[in-house]
Amino acid sequence: MIQNSPPLPPRQVLPTMYDLPSEVVGEPGLPDEFHLLQPELLRLTFRPPAYPDDEVFAASDLNLYYDPRHSQWYKRPDWFGVLGVPRLYGGTELRLSYVTWQEGIPPFVVVELLSPGTEKEDLGRTLREASQPPNKWTVYEQVLRIPYYFVFNRYTDEFQAFGLMMTEYRPLELDGQGVWLKEAELGLGLWQGRYQGVERRWLRWYDSDGNWLLTPAEQEKQRADAAEQENGRLRERLRQAGLEL
């Protein structure tokens, strides 16, 4: 377990988002298309009802800086969501990174998408030298103390859920569709469906009634279908009355 460190000197100036951007020269990009589509679906359906849109921040593949003593250390979650922070940095700008000591609020939930090269890191099975950064599991569990951590293996469709209990992550049982996050009034589960033309199982958020939350495109299609059905009923009533549009 990581021990608490002494407080920083009050006059020490720590780097900000502008000093700690999300792009690092020479760092490889995203490994595959799934790592683009799945986080996008999570972002589009992450709508906690108790929080207005401008007080929820969600990001994927964005540097998450977590230790003011080692300000260059970061993790890059496949997706994470934060509650109670401005949607925009300073209320005006898109973020270059998420710097926890400046934002003041750590992520509420993190999702990692397993791949053969990241599985040990994501599940906390890697060892490190004392001078090296801790693995993701340790950062999420012991440093940032993120309440919920989810791991999904798209090759096997295995969905693992962990909740922070006291000082460590404990496995959470999947109940029905998935796992209910009481504080966010949302659930996260596996949905079988077609997204961006691809039919498979996807991680997706659902509401208290068990309804999968719709993306903006799906909402628009639903409205258009409802309008077409209403027009059809109107045409039928006019036809029966001997009239036509």
Whether residue 181 is predicted with pLDDT greater than 80 in this model: the reply is yes
Same domain, yes or no: 55 and 175: yes
Residue range(s) defining the domain that contains residue 220: 214-245
Strand bridging mode 109-113 / 148-153:
parallel
Same domain, yes or no: 219 and 205: no
Position 119 in a domain: yes
Whole-number pLDDT of residue 85: 96
Same domain, yes or no: 135 and 78: yes
- Read off the pTM: 0.83
Whether residue 104 is predicted with pLDDT greater than 70 in this model: the reply is yes
Strand bridging mode 186-195 / 64-65:
unpaired
Same domain, yes or no: 171 and 53: yes
In the chain, how many domains are there?
2
Contact between residue 148 and residue 162 where contact means Cβ atoms under 8 Å apart: yes
Position 59 in a domain: yes
Residue 130 CA to residue 116 CA, distance in Å, equals 25
| DSSP type of residue 118 | T
Strand bridging mode 158-165 / 168-171:
antiparallel
Mean pLDDT computed over every residue of the chain: 88
Whole-number pLDDT of residue 118: 76
